[in-house]
Amino acid sequence: MRTVLFVDDEQPIRNALERMYLERDNVRCLFAASGQEGLEILAREEVWVVVSDYLMPGMRGIEFLSKARSLRPETVRIMMTAYADLSVAIDAINKSEAYRFVTKPWNNQELMDTIDEALMRYQLIKSLASEDEALYLSLAQAVELKDPYTKGHCDRVARYAVALAHAVGLPDDVINDIKHGSWLHDCGKIGVPEGVLNFPGRLSDEDQETVKKHPRWGSEVARQARMSDTVVNIILYHHERFDGKGYPDGLKGEHIPVEARIVALADVFDALYSDRPYRKAYDFEQSMGIMVEMAETHFDPHLMDLFRPIAEGVRADA
């Protein structure tokens, strides 16, 4: 069962956290009053997420989370503290690879949303590590539930990308990884709030920056699950642009792995040819016209030439 461990030396804090989850029967909550007690629980229980206070007597939160990482590397770690300080946050991230940093007093709904995202991250890591293809697609569909406008998007992107990979002449094992990477290319969106994903208009600069973090978040999960370099590259680099003005790393031209260039093209085509929160789908001619305009900046020109007949086939099948 989905299990969360809260570690805090103050009984009133533990009581408040317990009350927060009284009506949630789909999450099991465990509590520890010290880092040592928390480690003992971790040694005998499968804990999905651990939320630890920072300033505790004896073993402090960062030391506890660092030891928790060694003991249960797959458990997602969250630091909570009343002492909001940049150096504390940096230590939490660097020494224990904390997933999130939460300040006290907390907002109950925001904290539960953060923990829910962490629970999904744990499930994602465990499922990806299973090498079960059916689970890959199931997880991609679970991510799509956060944004109803993307229903079926991952499967369509995979279909277009696999067709393009065959046209390029890539080996079968790489094409299989491209299919998996296409399904999972947006898995990092589990860390993006639904209100941001579904916002029916132009996002604020801050929300845009949040969305731009999803390739790195997703690739970290894929690496932790020991997925292939091809899958990791697709998740990390599918928003890079051929002119070097994409994100997250600003790679240019053939420095972008070919698998990511393939999926980027398939991803944009499906985004144009489907309804989005902020607009209706473009028709085929409009979609291809925009793709041609973008070819000079966003896409590998050779791949774009190979994709045209694939896109025509999509229209014929519609």
Q: Which CATH superfamily is domain 132-317 in?
A: Hypothetical protein af1432 (1.10.3210.10)
Who has greater pLDDT, 98 or 16?
Answer: 16
Quick check: 65 and 96 in contact, CB under 8 A?
yes
Where residue 85 falls among pLDDT bands split at 50, 70, 90? Answer: low
Do residues 51 and 6 make contact, with C-beta atoms less than 8 angstroms apart?
yes
Higher pLDDT, 250 or 129: 250
Domain limits, the chain: 3-122, 132-317
Residue 299, burial from CB neighbour count under 10 angstroms (0-12, 13-18, 19+): buried
Is 132-317 in the same CATH topology as 3-122?
no
Is residue 141 over pLDDT 80?
no
Q: How confident is the model at residue 96 (pLDDT cuts 50, 70, 90)?
A: low
Torsion over CA: 143, 146, 148, 150 (sign): negative
Contact 122, 100 (CB under 8 A): no
pLDDT band at 88 (very low <50, low <70, confident <90, very high): low
Average pLDDT score over the chain? 88
- pTM reported for the whole predicted model: 0.74
pLDDT value at 90 more than 80: no
Per-residue pLDDT at 126 exceeds 80: yes
Residues belonging to the active site: 189
Predicted confidence at residue 84, as pLDDT, reads 59
Q: pLDDT for 250-277, tens place per residue?
A: 999 999 999 999 999 999 999 898 876 5
Tell me what pLDDT residue 89 has: 61
27-83: per-residue pLDDT in tens? 999 999 999 999 999 999 999 999 999 889 999 898 999 999 999 999 999 988 886
pLDDT confidence tier of residue 238, bands split at 50, 70 and 90: very high
149-208 pLDDT per residue, tens: 566 888 899 999 999 999 999 999 999 999 999 999 988 887 777 777 767 677 888 888
Residues in the chain: 318
Query: 3-122 — its CATH code?
Result: 3.40.50.2300
